[in-house]
Structure 1
Amino acid sequence: MKVGNRLTLYIVLGLILGITIGSILSPMGDQAWVQWIDQYIFNVIGQLFLNMIFMMVVPVVFISIVLGVYNVGDPKTLGSLGIKTLGFYLVTTAIAITIAIVLATVVRPGAGQAELLDSDEVSEYRDTELEGGETGAAIEQTFDQTLINIIPTNIFDAMATDNMLQIIAFAIFVGIAMISVKDKIGAVVKLFEQANEVVMWIVMAIMKYFAAIGAFGLVATAFTQAGFGAIQQLGMYFVCVLAALFIHMALVYGSMVQFMAKKSFIWFIKQFAPAMGVAFSTSSSSAVLPISMETAQKRLGIRKGISSFVQPLGATINMDGTSIMQGVATVFIAQLSGIDLTLMQMVTVVIIATIASIGTAGVPGVGLVMLAMVLTAVGLDPAAIGIIIGIDRLLDMTRTMTNITGDAAIATVLDHQQDVKEEKKGLESTKPNA
């Protein structure tokens, strides 16, 4: 079952229809009939689709990583692939947040809007989120605890709580163990391969029959609750984040695909469009992961061994879009507060946001939790996050699309490097038929 151009068209139409209807209903959002439609139609349709995708995330990630590690075959090659992948992710994230800080410093979206700090949204965020809430707990999470928590104490608990980093760690151990005893486990390997076919078929069935209507529901409810009216007050902030996202996507990812993978970036975007559409509607890197992997393997022609390792890891640690939001938001809030960030503070933001992206769950709104940690580190009031919550859901869609595009771009580069390596050694190509 393949992801075709017709499905891409249906998803795009669903997104356009959802944005249009949601924007029309948004000004009437306080009326009972609009709230009923939003809750019992848009929300139900969207959440059913989202739940179906989330249902497949853990089995897809676990099985794909195990097979990806096993198919690499050589632990040294796996180590090389892992180091390259991690290096790409950390560098692109650092570049992303640097672009955001520079752009926000030049555009100055927060200049002359200090009154926003006195809004009810700031007080409400401080009362509900920072005093004993989840955000406060997240700020207390130290880097050493993040490293320790990579290894699960109970893999079933990790799977039950969708702890992607722990699932990936366990899957890598299983894959390496299978390489070590491969002559004795033919039936086990076949079981994993058959299980992979089953879960991917389910994913593609969900895409074929539910993606377009699901995308419509998710986007319609997002724009009904936070339509373009919410953008007016924070227009410059909104535009600044979008501009930084598209600059990063075009310049950084475009250059990588064009010059390092020797592929047309327009071709890349066209082929990867189905996954980008789902990412936009779900606002979740984890939810779109099964579709992202299938699209990369079938339409971009990336080897399963590379796609199965690089993209799940990226959904967990590569948060370029989220980092861009953090960079712009930090400068924006500093400007509201009448504070000019020093060069050292800006460097601190880059480092902390880059490190904080490791192990962050790829779920909607998690960027705000990370932002609270960044703001605290440079002496800004995290309660100011309440100002941007109203439009964050809309921006979250675009930055999730940026996140998964970056994962696929890096997978494309690494796949091309494997092509070059095999060609130099005169080996038979392991490239799948695209």
Structure 2
Amino acid sequence: MLLGIVYAVVSVMLGWQRFTADFIAPFGTIFMNLLKLIAVPLVLFSIISGIAGLGSPESLGRLGLKTLAIYLGTTVLAVSLGLLIVNLIKPGESRDSALMLENRIRYELWKKQSGAEDLDDICLTCKPEYAELTAQVSSRMNGTENQDLVASKIEKAKQTQNQGPLAFLVDMVPDNIFTSLNDSKLMIQVIFFGIFFGIALLYIPGERQQVLIDFFQAITDVFLKMVDFVMRVSPFFVFALMAGTISQIAGDDVSKVLPVFRSLGSYTLAVVAGLVIMAFVIYPAIIHFFAPGIRFSEFLKAISPAQLLAFSSSSSAATLPVTIECMEENMKVPKKYTSFVLPIGATVNMDGTSLYQAVAVVFLAQMHGVELSLAQQLTIVLTATLASIGAAAVPSAGLIMLIIVLTSVHLNPAWIAIILPIDRILDMCRTVVNVTGDAMVCTLVAKSESQTETA
């Protein structure tokens, strides 16, 4: 991974961008395609065989409720932690008073144009002494607000918001499973079909049931072996993936790489601090109290291949096959738990993404001189938690969910353009926490179920 970053910087300095794009980056794309190729069918067949392995519908109901309850609990913890950190550090409050003044006027102008709700009684644009500055800011307002990338994400967020309250249930049920299998963004539909099929399988008479269970288990084993083949050459693939990503960011100028790691420093610090605390303080504490006997250092060592892949791919879905393999081979978690808990986690559990959304919303509000009340910050907790359930397990899906959270507290969704330059790096970090959270919950559920069965 580090070699890929170093190579990308050197290649830009030496003018090798074309060579990197033509002969190095494609292997990173192949790597992602291989993992996505394996992920969707692996999820389907592993869920079916996992549910069948539970033995009874009663066991499935208990396992499902327990899994969802823990996932929702850790998500609320993550959002609350993000709000606590951003309110303590206050990364959006700049020492540059002129910049803060301009940002505040920009926000007020947008508020008037959009008809958004007033969040406070401040009105700088109403004061004569700021008339000239207001005119200058107004003339420059056709910048970040109208970028194509921002506009497209805002449009996607609007489509999501305009759906009814039960739209997520409609979206869960596929009208054609083959269409769902063809699109990794429809993973929730594949999971629904797998659970439905697995439940029906529990009611099939003994001999026929066993034939189907053996069949699906054999297919699952084949896909896991495919994962093993891909991971044998993963160091080269990860090098190519990192080299291609960083080279694309840099373009023709190596100095463009530096802002990615340097700009918006306080904001980046707040997000990374929250993610580190979540992964290395809160998760160990949860495991210590609810899964005694499991050392967190051993847990981290066991899932480290999945964490590294999550960082380089920024995709929980692409990492899922490796996460399953790590939990089964290294943590010795039974297949009936990994095949049920982890695929659901890759779709509904986004602790890192939820924490990032909380920090980003308050940061952007602080930057524009907007003080969010306790009630508005509680709205962020609720919206970010619900949005994380619908967030696709693909790179940068969190940006679309962030727009929804910004809109829920009456802030300008176009502000995401401010954090776009460093979003890719932070996306890599938060995906590591997402995957770590999935593995942690899987460990808790397996430990709890084994105690229940023993009792």
TM-score above 0.5, yes or no: yes
Q: Secondary structure at the match of 2:172?
A: coil
Partner residue of 2:45?
Answer: 63
Q: How does 1:24-423 map to 2 (within 5 A)?
A: 24=10, 28=13, 33-112=15-94, 114=100, 122-125=144-147, 129-130=151-152, 133-162=155-184, 163-183=186-206, 184-209=208-233, 211-224=234-247, 225=249, 227-262=257-292, 263-423=294-454
CA deviations 1:107-138 (Å, max 9, x no partner) are 11111254677788623436752587434323
* Residue 176 of structure 1, CA deviation: 0.9
User: Quick check: 143-152 or 63-72, which moved more?
Assistant: 143-152
**Rounded Cα–Cα distance in structure 2 between residues aligned with 1:125 and 1:139:** 21
Partner residue of 2:5?
Answer: 19
User: Quick check: 138-147 or 49-58, which moved more?
Assistant: 138-147
Q: Secondary structure at the match of 2:393?
A: coil
Structure 2: which amino acid aligns with 1:136? Answer: K
Q: Secondary structure at the match of 1:185?
A: helix
**Rounded Cα–Cα distance in structure 2 between residues aligned with 1:132 and 1:360:** 15
**Rounded Cα–Cα distance in structure 2 between residues aligned with 1:131 and 1:366:** 9
**Rounded Cα–Cα distance in structure 2 between residues aligned with 1:280 and 1:74:** 37
**Rounded Cα–Cα distance in structure 2 between residues aligned with 1:280 and 1:273:** 11
Q: CA RMSD in A?
A: 2.0
**Rounded Cα–Cα distance in structure 2 between residues aligned with 1:131 and 1:324:** 20
Structure 1: which amino acid aligns with 2:3? Answer: L
CA deviations 1:207-256 (Å, max 9, x no partner) are 112x1112112222333316343232211111111100011112221112
CA deviations 1:247-305 (Å, max 9, x no partner) are 11122211122221121111110111011111111100000001110111110111101
Structure 2 CA distance for partners of 1:279 and 1:152, relative to 1, 3 Å: same
Structure 2 CA distance for partners of 1:259 and 1:176, relative to 1, 3 Å: same
Structure 2 CA distance for partners of 1:202 and 1:127, relative to 1, 3 Å: closer
Asked whether the 8 Å contact 2:50–2:340 carries over to 1, the reply is yes
Asked whether the 8 Å contact 1:223–1:394 carries over to 2, the reply is no
Structure 2 CA distance for partners of 1:128 and 1:371, relative to 1, 3 Å: closer
Asked whether the 8 Å contact 1:315–1:407 carries over to 2, the reply is yes
Asked whether the 8 Å contact 1:138–1:369 carries over to 2, the reply is no
* Residue 331 of structure 1, CA deviation: 0.5
* Residue 34 of structure 1, CA deviation: 4.1
Q: How many residues are matched?
A: 405
Structure 2 CA distance for partners of 1:36 and 1:139, relative to 1, 3 Å: farther
* Residue 388 of structure 1, CA deviation: 0.8
Asked whether the 8 Å contact 1:280–1:397 carries over to 2, the reply is yes
CA deviations 1:143-176 (Å, max 9, x no partner) are 4211221111221121122211111111111111
Q: Secondary structure at the match of 1:358?
A: helix
**Rounded Cα–Cα distance in structure 1 between residues aligned with 2:59 and 2:149:** 50
**Rounded Cα–Cα distance in structure 2 between residues aligned with 1:121 and 1:394:** 24
Partner residue of 1:430?
Answer: none
Q: Secondary structure at the match of 2:200?
A: helix
Asked whether the 8 Å contact 1:71–1:305 carries over to 2, the reply is yes
Structure 1: give runs of 5+ residues left out of the alignment. Answer: 1-14, 425-434
Q: Secondary structure at the match of 1:364?
A: coil
Q: Secondary structure at the match of 1:419?
A: helix
**Rounded Cα–Cα distance in structure 2 between residues aligned with 1:367 and 1:176:** 32
Structure 2 CA distance for partners of 1:372 and 1:199, relative to 1, 3 Å: same
Partner residue of 1:428?
Answer: none
Asked whether the 8 Å contact 1:318–1:407 carries over to 2, the reply is yes
Output the TM-score relative to the length of structure 2. 0.84
Partner residue of 2:130?
Answer: none
**Rounded Cα–Cα distance in structure 1 between residues aligned with 2:70 and 2:10:** 42
**Rounded Cα–Cα distance in structure 2 between residues aligned with 1:18 and 1:120:** 37
Structure 2 CA distance for partners of 1:377 and 1:290, relative to 1, 3 Å: same
Asked whether the 8 Å contact 2:81–2:355 carries over to 1, the reply is yes
Structure 2: which amino acid aligns with 1:168? Answer: I
**Rounded Cα–Cα distance in structure 2 between residues aligned with 1:182 and 1:264:** 42
Structure 2: which amino acid aligns with 1:181? Answer: I
Asked whether the 8 Å contact 1:126–1:383 carries over to 2, the reply is no
* Residue 360 of structure 1, CA deviation: 2.0
Structure 2: which amino acid aligns with 1:46? Answer: G
Q: Secondary structure at the match of 2:438?
A: helix
Identical columns (%): 36
**Rounded Cα–Cα distance in structure 2 between residues aligned with 1:256 and 1:242:** 20
